[in-house]
Amino acid sequence: MKRKIHHIVYLPIALFIICSACESLLDVDPSDTFSTISYWKTEEHALAGITGCYNALSSWRSMDHFMEYDMITSNCMPYNESNGTQAIGKGEHLSITPLIESLWGACYRGIGRTNTFLDNVTRCAMDENLKNRLIGEAKFLRAFYYFNLADKFGGVPLITEAPDAEKHADLPRNTKEAVVEQILKDLTEAAPVLSVSYSSADMGRATKGAALALKARVLLYNGRWNEAAEAAQAVMDLGVYELFNNYRYFFSEDNKHNKEVIFNVESAEPDFTQGFDNTIFTLNRPAPLKELVDKYQMTDGKSIDESPLYDPENPYENRDPRLHYSITVVGYPYNGRLIAPNNVVTTGFGVKKYTSFKDDTTIPIPTRSAFNIILIRYAEVLLTYAEARNEFNGPDESVYKAINQVRSRTGVAMPNIPEGLTKEAMREAIRLERRIELTFEGIYYSDILRWKTAEIENNGAMHNASGIPIVERKFDPDKHYLWPIPYNQILQNPNLVQNPKWD
């Protein structure tokens, strides 16, 4: 008998038992278990099934595969070795590193659920338009899960049907190119049947804009510049998204459904909440590094090395406002008091982004909060367009317009990018803007991998606010641009060929 693949071959029928619709499902079928034959009959079954597909995003809600990735880069670091994040940053990770195993498992869990849904939902008696929309949602989610695998591991086993141990247990890896084509196929098919927006009851579902924006990201990450620019332009042309006018509180619970959000993982009291407010004060995780802080420009749009506004005695004055919107700095107010060194013991900096606190008002530290993890937002789409268009055609007027929209948003008001830049100079400006605008959003690690700059940036000492080296990053360009296939997968399936240098 063939072995089962851990997480890949996972029959997810049991997930429907815990979905929100389950109590009423028990009225339909009095048995306490469901088979694929008895389950897929009604609209209620279909809605519960797609809920299970979304629930596989729980690892992103917990930030394991979101902010954790920034802690691998020179943006920030964890205070301890939890999850193996620090090990990856130091080039000491293995095929048994927890964060690596977790991503593989979370993605294939989601893929198994979406495949089961797609193979069976057509049997449900329900409105055809709703059914088609749910199919689009499942294809979007499957594309999202496969994108995360391809981004970190390269080629992986490509499975597009419900899990079957006899058929799937010994599958080899497909090429990354084949996986990317399947991702793009799913997103292309999903976009036309997805809604542009939803009522409050359906917030968090994949939209047409989400499918197009993820497609733009996939194309960008794979160097398909013109197609990426066209996909980003399609999101812009929808006319439903705009930059939120308060960068500091874009990520707050009160503003979690603002017009900049394209796709997020929903949180809600009391079952799906975050402990980030509490964690950032008690554990200082993540801890921003000086390497990131020094990259924030002065308010004149120049670097700290070039601007006459920079004062080494007051290094955090006259800086890009996003510095103080995103990062707590010793000597500056936060939660109604001045930040002291013992508040940010790891690096001398703390993360302000995602927190509930204001600078001038003291509130109790909440145990839990319910802000949403925002996985795709409009600012990224604008920067995707700018990068892709610049790489394809150079810095034309549309490139300047896209990047300057991000810089000039209300409350940020940074100067426009200087006119007359070369393609290479604009490339550097866009890369810096992505780093600053999207910091702590889990994107920068993927950026330095695809730009092939990780071997430079992630090699050497990282520093605290005082300029003291506190962690050493190591990156082997012959090995670390791909993560290793988890050891337990290789052990169970000998046809999985390990990535180079990881044997």
Task: Look at residue 483 and tell me if it is in a domain.
Answer: yes
- Condensed to tens digits (0 to 9), the pLDDT of residues 196-245 reads 999 888 989 999 999 999 999 999 999 999 999 999 999 999 999 999 99
Please tell me the predicted confidence (pLDDT) of residue 24: 31
Assess if residue 486 is contained within a domain: yes
In contact, 417 and 354? CB cutoff 8 Å: no
Q: Which residues contact 377 (CB under 8 A, 6 or more apart)?
A: 250, 260, 261, 262
Would you say residue 225 lies in a domain? no
What local confidence, expressed as pLDDT, does residue 32 receive? 42
Contacts of residue 74, defined as CB under 8 A and 6 or more positions apart, other chains included, come to 289, 291, 292, 457, 458, 462, 473
d(CA 180, CA 189): 14
Q: Which of 303, 403, 2 lies closest to 169, judged by CA? A: 2
Give per-residue pLDDT as tens, 480-503. Answer: 999 999 999 999 999 999 999 998
Q: Is the pLDDT assigned to residue 124 strictly greater than 90?
A: yes
Can you give the length of the chain in residues?
503
Looking up residue 128, the CATH number of its domain turns out to be: 1.25.40.890
Tens of pLDDT, residues 417-433: 999 999 999 999 999 99
Structural domain that includes position 481: 1-67+81-185+477-503
Has residue 489 been placed in a domain?
yes
Q: Residue 43 — φ and ψ, nearest 5°?
A: -60, -35
Whether pTM exceeds 0.85? yes
- Judge whether 378 lies within some domain: no
State the angle between helix axes of 176-190 and 208-221 in degrees (0 to 180), rounded to the nearest 10: 160
Q: What pLDDT does residue 453 have?
A: 98
Q: If pLDDT is split at 50, 70 and 90, which confidence band does 354 have?
A: confident
What residue has token string 């990156």?
A: 475
Q: Is residue 442 part of a domain?
A: no
Predicted confidence at residue 277, as pLDDT, reads: 67
Q: Are 263 and 244 in contact (CB under 8 A)?
A: no
Dihedral through CA 16, CA 20, CA 21, CA 23, nearest 10?
90
Q: State the first-to-last Cα distance of the chain, in angstroms, to the nearest integer.
A: 27
Determine, yes or no, domain membership for 12: yes
Is residue 410 scored above 70 in pLDDT? yes
In the structure, what pLDDT confidence band is assigned to residue 361 with cuts at 50, 70 and 90? confident
Residue 329 inside a domain? The answer is: no
Provide the domain count of the chain. 1
Measured from the Cβ of residue 414, the count of other Cβ atoms closer than 10 Å reads 21
Please give the pLDDT value at position 271: 60
